[in-house]
Structure 1
Amino acid sequence: MKITGKLIIIGGAVDKGSFTETDLDKNSASNLNFFETGILKRIISESKHKENSRIEVVTTASNIPKEIGPEYVKAFSYLDAKNIDVLYIEKREEAADPAVLTRLKAADIVIFTGGDQLRLTSILGGTPFHDILLDKYHNEEFVYAGTSAGAAAASNSMIYQGSSSEALLKGEVKITSGLGLIDGVTIDTHFVRRGRIGRLFQTVVSNPRVLGIGLGEDTGLLITNNNEMEAIGSGLVILVDGRDIKDTNLTQVELGQPISINNLVVHVMSMNDTYNIGTHKMQIHTS
């Protein structure tokens, strides 16, 4: 099935990349340069009406939504976006509010902020808001953008808990259902700084058909037709492919014991590199 919408998933930020996660005054040069040339600018340029696109910021994952929402409005406004607002959805019943659904139907871009991805899926999952979101993504020139929790929740299979340091002990990584915009992948964020590669290893070895995607800070993926991925932003994307795993002790060891994996394949993408999920082929841009 052809997917008309676009998916932009973002790993989070360290020193730049989101007005919500940095001190704008102290790091203004980094922030402004990033927004001028980086991921938020790309979100606007990929949308149907560019700077005139209707943008809704969804802060459901955050525990400080009233602080985060206005910062996104400020960031998009700096990039000449003309039509931005914040949807504060904090309870399930609000995800069925006719006024909220009307705004979602009119949106060209919806960006989901960081926070707790389990909060995002438990509040929005299975609601009229979720149904409309999926329909727009499948059938309209629509951009779903998510940073951190908003990125992790985009896939059908979602990591919601797991210690980085103990991620290769059996049972340490907890997985549940996400919002289901894209199947066949699992997405992890803040990947490089928080050393989360072990979380993807355990996720992939438990179902080698699933492609593990690790998004570094200030880094994202533009996914079109749920198939073609392009790395955007300044950092790294790590892909973990388990289709050629030769052996693992996953089913033999007890909970809490280390996992062994033989022949796990890892790819590293940087800006403008592409990867086709269907063919499993990566193209390095400079070559």
Structure 2
Amino acid sequence: MRLYLSSYRIGDRAGSLLALLGNGRHAAIIENALDNISPAARELYRNEAYDPVSELGSLGIVGTPLDLRQYFGDPEGLRARLSQFDLCWVTGGNAFVLRRAMKQSGFDDVIVDMLDNDEIVYGGFSAGAVVAAPSLEGIHLMDDPDEAPRGYDRETIWDGLGLIDHAIVPHYRSPHPESAAAERAVRHLCSRGLRYRALRDGEVIVWTENRMASVELRQRIA
């Protein structure tokens, strides 16, 4: 299983991302964490703040937008589409909105299966990294869990994808608007004795451990 989980954008380990990809250079870009803002605001953000196609392109990676809303209720169609890519790059925004999109499209099951079979690399930052954890506990202090754009189920999903064995708190002690909220999330997780890793912007987790082996080890320890 190949994961590249960043606090903010590509971060400081771009070479590691390329190493994970090997000869692969095609990425599906998933931006559904931003579905709670208007299309005009998204376009402004892309033009003036962050364009994932350009960022990946600077590394020689060809990025193609993939909207999970087009696959709500069609996990087989989504799997067929994802099979055409080497990397799934999931951007920031609201982690709870993103998690809803992953559930309604079947992405959560599809990506776990593809990763277990080493068919794709999962990469992402901020919300895209947060959802790799076992749970979104604590992230409710950074993102509104009740955000549900039109076409989304309103039920809040607290389970993460379970790709790693601890929570991720992005933007920790960084020059980012959510840095103060990240401090609150860390205190919350500490108070409950939950495992986490707080990432400063620029920091990245590169994870190549087999997911099932990690799950079995945790079960034996428990």
**TM-score computed with the length of structure 1 as normaliser:** 0.56
Given the alignment of the two structures, is residue 61 of structure 1 paired with residue 11 of structure 2, yes or no?
no
- Structure 1 residue runs of 4 or more that deviate by more than 6 Å after TM superposition: none
For 1:79, what is the secondary structure of its paired residue? coil
1:270-285 aligned at under 5 Å gives the runs none
For 2:139, what is the secondary structure of its paired residue? strand
CA drift of 1:98 comes to: 5.1
Distance 1:54 1:79 in 2: 11
Partner residue, 2:189: 203
Distance 2:114 2:129 in 1: 17
For 2:83, what is the secondary structure of its paired residue? helix
Q: Which of 201, 204, 209 is the equivalent residue of 1:220?
A: 204
Structure whose residues are more often helix by fraction: 2
Partner residue, 1:43: 17
Structure 1 residues 235-270: Cα deviation after superposition (integer angstroms, max 9, x where no partner): xxxxxxxxxxxxxxxxxxxxxxxxxxxxxxxxxxxx
For 2:55, what is the secondary structure of its paired residue? helix
Partner residue, 1:155: 133
Structure 1 residues 15-56: Cα deviation after superposition (integer angstroms, max 9, x where no partner): xx56xxxxxxxxxxxxxxx7xxx334431221142xx43211
CA drift of 1:151 comes to: 0.9
Partner residue, 1:179: 161
Partner residue, 2:151: none
Change (3 A) 1:175 1:96: closer
Residue correspondences, number: 186
Maintained 8 Å contact 1:156/1:181: yes
Change (3 A) 1:176 1:115: same
CA drift of 1:118 comes to: 0.2
CA drift of 1:152 comes to: 0.9
Given the alignment of the two structures, is residue 89 of structure 1 paired with residue 61 of structure 2, yes or no?
no
Maintained 8 Å contact 2:5/2:206: yes
Structure 1 residues 186-226: Cα deviation after superposition (integer angstroms, max 9, x where no partner): 111111121423422322332x3x32111111211111216
Maintained 8 Å contact 2:71/2:78: no
Distance 2:60 2:2 in 1: 21
Maintained 8 Å contact 1:58/1:113: yes
**Amino acid across the alignment from 2:101:** I
Partner residue, 2:3: 7
Please identify the structure whose Cα radius of gyration is greater. 1
Change (3 A) 1:119 1:142: same
Structure 1 residues 148-197: Cα deviation after superposition (integer angstroms, max 9, x where no partner): 1111111111133216xxxxxxxxxx9921122223x1111111121423
Q: Which of 53, 56, 64 is the equivalent residue of 1:76?
A: 56
CA drift of 1:146 comes to: 1.3
Distance 1:125 1:98 in 2: 13
Change (3 A) 1:68 1:139: farther
CA drift of 1:101 comes to: 2.8
CA drift of 1:138 comes to: 1.5
Change (3 A) 1:200 1:92: farther
Change (3 A) 1:123 1:153: same
CA RMSD of aligned residues (A): 3.0
Partner residue, 2:152: none
Partner residue, 1:264: none
Given the alignment of the two structures, is residue 108 of structure 1 paired with residue 86 of structure 2, yes or no?
yes
Structure 1 residues 89-134: Cα deviation after superposition (integer angstroms, max 9, x where no partner): 23662x6265543221232211100000000111212643221100
Distance 2:130 2:93 in 1: 10
Partner residue, 1:261: none
Structure whose residues are more often strand by fraction: 1
